[in-house]
Amino acid sequence: MRQVALVGAGMTRFGKHVDRSMKDLAREAIEGALQSAGVTTQDIEAAAVGNAVAGLITGQECIRGQVVLRELGIGGIPVINTENACASSSTAFHLAWLYVASGMYDVVLALGMEKLFHPDKQRTFEAIGSAIDLELADTFAREMSGEQSAGAGQSRSVFMDYYANLARQHMQRYDTTQEQFARIAAKNHTNGSLNPHAQYQTKRSVEDVLAAPLIADPLTRMMCSPIGDGAAAVLVTTADKARQLTTRPVYVKASTLGSSNKQAVDSPGIVPSVALKAYEQAGLGPDDVQVIEAHDATAPAELLVYEELSLCQAGEGGKLIDDGVTQLGGRCPVNPSGGLLAKGHPVGATGVAQICEIFWQLRGEAGERQVPGAKVGLTENGGGVLDGENAVASVHVFSV
């Protein structure tokens, strides 16, 4: 396998873009990636395009990537469409990495894009809610929301109830507090205030987060990721070619992808399993990682990821946030971009957007949110739910 590197990244600001098409959003992201890499569309030999719910929101099915890329003059090459819930574009990146690592192509585009806003908000919630086993949808909703079921899947995503359930279990088992979840949300909203690409750019305090309307106990609105539109793109190439294009390539040390499997209750879940493979592939451990972009669909989700990535032991996620380890200035900042909570979560774009942030962090291009001296970064992206855990998970490790 060849060594793989990133040479360019671009993304839109995430948010409510009702007057912009997915083609327009993708164009901005791709042009940004091309400009930062110093290459043209003619240099792209293949493309992997991640999108989750365009078929349900806009009606565009089957050839989403081809439709979008053709508008930019990118055609005549292999275009692979990946649909894998919230991990759709991290899956696209995994394929782009594999294309280059295998020697099949030298320059590959990985693109993530999504339009979630729709005049009928219930249509959006139903689209997001399709990332479960629909034959068990009623059972899933009852188990996740219990007595709070009113509004689940209608006035809010059913996944908020899923995460609320996980949060309550963690609180009961480890004495984790709502304030610790609020501390994560305040951290990410404050980080987002430093990010021009973020959907929300307002600094928030723990008190602000706790005072926000309750969505599903113990989650307040500011602990939940918003609906959004947007696109993100990166250019993947060989290490040799990268060194010809830039003096600051970012190397891909590991790219892993996995799906949930029926297993014993006490077995490691999908995220710890995929993370372990990534660490082994990279030849690094959690103590070597200096900056992380994690899948904080809710604040409790980030706390659980601390433990799943072995940043701490099970039950110690609350202490990690209390000690300031994961905030800017801490030992290992998590979600300096603002994460899904503040940067936003247009689901099909999220995975590549995380990679964009790590690319900028490792190149020292992250502005006010820069993690000083960061040399090793990691992204963790999950999607869907099966049997009480992510249906799909990906972990990528990068270094300079």
DSSP 147-200: GG-TTBTTTB-HHHHHHHHHHHHHHHHH---HHHHHHHHHHHHHHHTT-TT-S-
- pLDDT (0 to 100) of residue 262: 74
Q: What is the pTM of this model?
A: 0.95
Read off the tokens for 114.
């999504």
- pLDDT (0 to 100) of residue 150: 52
Catalytic, out of 17, 189, 197, 345: 345
Domains of the chain: 4-118+227-399 (3.40.47.10)
Catalytic, out of 86, 312, 332, 356: 86
Does the annotation count 224 as an active-site position? no
Does the annotation count 62 as an active-site position? no
Q: Are 251 and 400 in contact (CB under 8 A)?
A: yes
Q: What is the DSSP letter of 97?
A: H
Task: Provide block-wise average pLDDT over 10 residues at a time, the chain (400 residues).
Answer: 97 97 97 97 98 94 97 96 98 98 98 94 90 80 58 68 96 98 98 98 98 97 97 98 96 97 75 97 98 98 98 98 98 98 98 98 98 98 93 98
Q: Which residues contact 267 (CB under 8 A, 6 or more apart)?
A: none
Whole-angstrom Cα Rg for the chain: 19
Q: Are 129 and 267 in contact (CB under 8 A)?
A: no
- pLDDT (0 to 100) of residue 146: 57
- pLDDT (0 to 100) of residue 158: 85
* Nearest-angstrom CA–CA distance, 338 and 360: 14
- pLDDT (0 to 100) of residue 137: 73
CA count, 13 A, side-chain hemisphere, 267 = 11
Q: How far is CA 87 from CA 334, 343, 346, in A?
A: 18, 16, 11
* Nearest-angstrom CA–CA distance, 96 and 317: 33
* Nearest-angstrom CA–CA distance, 234 and 269: 29
Q: Are 256 and 394 in contact (CB under 8 A)?
A: yes
* Nearest-angstrom CA–CA distance, 359 and 209: 29
